[in-house]
Structure 1
Amino acid sequence: MNPFKRILVPVDGSETSKRALEAAIQLARAMDGQIRVMHAIDQMMYVSGYEATVDLLGTARTWAREALDEAMATVKAAGVACDSLLIDELGPRLGESVAQAARDWRADLIVLGTHGRRGVNRLLLGSGAEQIIRLAPSPVMVIRPTDLA
């Protein structure tokens, strides 16, 4: 039995996200698994009372689809089965969105990149990876930036 057949990979287009995707591809190949790449648009885009001269949500959706398309192309080029999920409605925070996506898809593993923020930066900005780890219904593999590895 292969323990990691269904691998969920949250992507945001960052270098650490790309490193996480490469790690997931290696695992999927070894385990004859499949990958679902996902992106959840930050709910801060919906802060009430904020007026912008640009369509922030439309821009965020376009950027998210580009990140998902790039990730899908990478996975397909590696010969691994994959699909994608975009979560763009107002609602749960990032960690909750990823945890729910993992539950809904019955993911065996979540592979994600972290930006490696520490100290005050982590306290001020929060840690998406930490939130995902706390809420995840399945094991989580965290890939750190190359300068911290």
Structure 2
Amino acid sequence: MDPFDLVLVAVDGSEESTRALEYAATVAEAYDADVQVVYVLGESAVADRDAEEYEETATEIAADHGVDVATGTVSGFSTDRLSQHPGSVVLDTAEEDGADFLVVPREPQTGTRAAVLEKTAEYVLRYASQPVLSV
């Protein structure tokens, strides 16, 4: 029995999240696990289109590693729940989907991009009950 059946990776379309997806696929390949790609939407509704376009990238990377992939989107922000944070959304999704291992991108070191997943890695590392890889 492999220790991981489902590797969840949080993405937002950034270069950092694509690198995280590569790591998630590598871990899934090593443990004969599946990959769940969760595109975390920003505050703008136009980000939904970006999520659909990113599915092709996720599918290609998973195919390169020979692993099954499923994709989905979640809203990282809420106008009525002030406590909703992209990190809590990632953790809630991981629990709902039964993820055994999490991969999250770190925020860009330059500080120039306003990516959705900024500061999410720190939150997920702090509160996750699953093993986490932050890349």
TM-score by length of 2: 0.80
Q: Which is helix-richer, 1 or 2?
A: 1
Deviations along 1:34-79, one digit per CA (max 9) or x if unpaired, are 000001213xx2xxxxxxxxxx41x111012212332123213432
SS in structure 1 of the partner of residue 35 of structure 2: strand
Distance 1:15 1:41 in 2: 16
Distance 2:35 2:6 in 1: 6
Q: Cα RMSD (Å) of the superposition?
A: 2.2
Distance 2:95 2:129 in 1: 6
Deviations along 1:65-122, one digit per CA (max 9) or x if unpaired, are 212332123213432111011113735210011000110111110012113549xx6x
Q: Sequence identity of aligned pairs in percent?
A: 30
- What code does the residue aligned with 1:14 have? S
- What code does the residue aligned with 1:83 have? A
Q: CA deviation at 1:20?
A: 1.4
| Runs of 5+ unmatched residues, structure 2 | none
Distance 1:111 1:20 in 2: 6
Distance 2:108 2:41 in 1: 20
The answer to whether 1:33 aligns with 2:33 is: yes
Aligned length: 125
TM-score by length of 1: 0.73
Of 49, 70, 80, the match for 2:67? 80
SS in structure 2 of the partner of residue 24 of structure 1: helix
1:41–1:33 distance in 2 versus 1, CA, 3 Å: same
Distance 2:92 2:129 in 1: 8
